[in-house]
Amino acid sequence: MRKLLLLIPVMLVLLVSGCTTQDAKEIIRESTEKLEALDSYKASYDLSMSTYGMIIGGSIDIYKKGNKTRADMVMSVMGQTQSASTYELPDGTYSCTEAAGSMTCVKGQSQSTLNPEDTAIINTEMIEKGIVVLTFNNIANIAGRNCYNITSDFDFSKLSELDSEEMEALGGMALIEGLFGALGASTTFGMSQCYGFETGMPLEIIIVIEMDMSSLPSQDVTMPEKISISIKMTATSFEPDAVIADSVFELPVEPSPEIQQFCTDSETQESMSYLQARSIALESDCMEEGNIIEGTESCNSDTGTWWIDMDLEKEGCSPACVVSIPNKTAEINWRCTGVIPE
C-alpha cells in the first residue's frame, strides 16, 4: 500500500481534506522509522530567522554516518558572519565556534539542536502525551522530492501534568519547557514540517513562537507587549546514503573541559541551566564583593545549588557565589577554614 501511495501522489492530494490526526501521527511514526534506518546522509538547508524587526539569514549543512552527526551553521547578523558546528559523537556532544580567527570546541550536554532528525523524533513523544496537536496540510515538493506537510501546535498546559521522569523522556523539549516556565501559558509554539516520502527526512521546518511580554516583571527598558520569533529551514539538497569520509567528524581543535549545562535539585527535581544561574549571580549581592570566575561552576544536586568561584582574596577562604535553584537567589559562601585573622 505504501508503494502505491508513492507511485500515485495525485491520489494523496485528493485525500488531503479527509486526513485525520491519526493519519498524521502514522506519517510521523513511519517517517521517524525511515529516517532512523538511514545509515548516512548529507542535507543542506537555507536558514532564515526573524524577530523584533531583525532578519537573519544563513545556511545549515548536516552530515550523518552511523552513530556520528555533524551540523555546520553559518549566519549573517547585522553584516557580521558567524559560524558554529555541532558534533554528536559516540563519546559525547561538542560545540565548536570561531571568533576573531580562533576556533574553540567545548564538550557538554546537548539540550537542543537544529538537526531535523531530532525534531522528527521529538514529535512522536509529544503526540503520545497530548502536548502536540497535528494537522495534515498538503503535499509539497522541496529540493526535488515530495513530502507530507504537517503542522504541530503545542499545548504547554500539558507540561504541568507530567512527572519528572516523563519530562526527562521528552529530551530535546527541555529548552521549550524552560521557555514555557519563564513566560507562562501565554507563550505559543507552532511548527510545520514536510516529511520526505522515501526517507522521512524533514525537507522544510517552520517554527513560530509568540511571546506575551506583558506577563514578565517590569523592566527598565521599553519592550513590546508581544514578540514573535520565526525560524525557517528549507532543504536545498538531500543525499541519502551519501559517501562521507570519517575525517568530516574529526574536531578541528582539542576540546575544552566538559561543561555541565544543567543542575537538578535532587529533592524537588527542579532544574536550572548554568546560563540562568550565571545571570542570577551577576544580578546579586555577590557582585558587590567581586567578580565570578568563568569556567569554575559546579553543581551540588544534594543542596540544589550552583557554585561559582569568585576572584576574592581572604586568607583561609575560598569564596564562591552560591545560586539556589528553588529560590532563584544568590549569596556568597566564603568557605573559610581555621582561624580567620582580623
Binned average pLDDT, 10 residues per bin, the chain of 342 residues: 32 36 78 87 91 83 92 83 87 79 70 50 65 86 91 74 62 48 59 90 88 58 72 91 94 74 84 83 89 85 92 88 94 78 43
Assigned domain for 287 exists: yes
Closest to 291 (Cα-Cα) out of 313, 318, 314, 311: 311
Out of 249, 274, 308, a domain closes at 249
The predicted structure's pLDDT at residue 114? 45
The predicted structure's pLDDT at residue 164? 59
198 and 275 inside one domain: no
pTM of the model: 0.62
The predicted structure's pLDDT at residue 116? 58
Out of 249, 274, 309, a domain closes at 249
161 and 307 inside one domain: no
The predicted structure's pLDDT at residue 268? 85
Q: In angstroms, rounded to a whole number, what is the distance separating the alpha carbons of residues 282 and 330?
A: 9
The H-or-E segment that residue 168 falls in is helix 164-169
Q: Where are the beta strands (DSSP E) in the chain?
A: 40-51, 54-65, 68-77, 80-89, 92-99, 102-108, 132-142, 145-154, 188-196, 202-212, 226-240, 256-259, 262-264, 271-273, 298-300, 305-309, 320-324, 329-333
Q: In angstroms, rounded to a whole number, what is the distance separating the alpha carbons of residues 110 and 95?
A: 9
Q: In terms of residue numbers, what domain contains 288? A: 263-333
239 and 270 inside one domain: no
The predicted structure's pLDDT at residue 112? 42
The predicted structure's pLDDT at residue 228? 83
229 contact partners, CB below 8 Å, separation of at least 6: 49, 50, 51, 207, 208, 209, 211
234 and 137 inside one domain: yes
The predicted structure's pLDDT at residue 310? 92
Q: In angstroms, rounded to a whole number, what is the distance separating the alpha carbons of residues 35 and 33?
A: 5
pLDDT in tens, 239-284: 999 999 999 999 998 887 655 578 888 888 888 888 788 888 988 9
